[in-house]
Amino acid sequence: QVQLVESGGGLVQAGGSLRLSCTTSGRTSFSTYAMGWFRQAPGKEREFVASIWWTGDITYYADSVKGRFTISRDNAKNTVYLQMNSLKPEDTAVYYCASKTGVVSTRAAAYNYWGQGTQVTVSS
């Protein structure tokens, strides 16, 4: 079974930065998995934030975070990161990392494994 554990969430003022981490363990070859970050705000559906191909050289971003967030991965540490800069109150949500075999995707339904989520709160 694959386990994903997110960390790095917290409370930050608008304009600030946070870096989320997601470490994977279990029966997996992390380096062959595509990884994604999603978020869910209260009363809203889970939405795509960013994803990264297993090689690390192909990434996708939601338009709402493009230019502010950066996804990266360290396959030696089985960890994927989400660097979030210039945070806005509308970025407030629970952030989830997810993994899947095969090609990278922006669709939540395509991902096989999910973390428990980490809360990010941006105050105005």
Q: Look at the alpha carbons of 73, 106, 91, 85 in this order and tell me if their dihedral is positive or negative.
A: positive
What pLDDT digit, counting tens, does each position of 12-24 carry?
999 999 999 999 9
Tokens 């109150």 belong to 89
What distance in Å separates the CA atoms of residue 51 and residue 39, rounded to the nearest whole number? 12
Residue 22's pLDDT is 96
Tell me which residues of the chain have a pLDDT lower than 70: 27-28
- Closest C-alpha to 47, from 58, 63, 68: 63
Residue 32's pLDDT is 77
Residue 116's pLDDT is 97
Residue 73's pLDDT is 94
Residue 1's pLDDT is 80
Question: Does residue 104 contact residue 50 with C-beta atoms inside 8 Å?
Answer: no
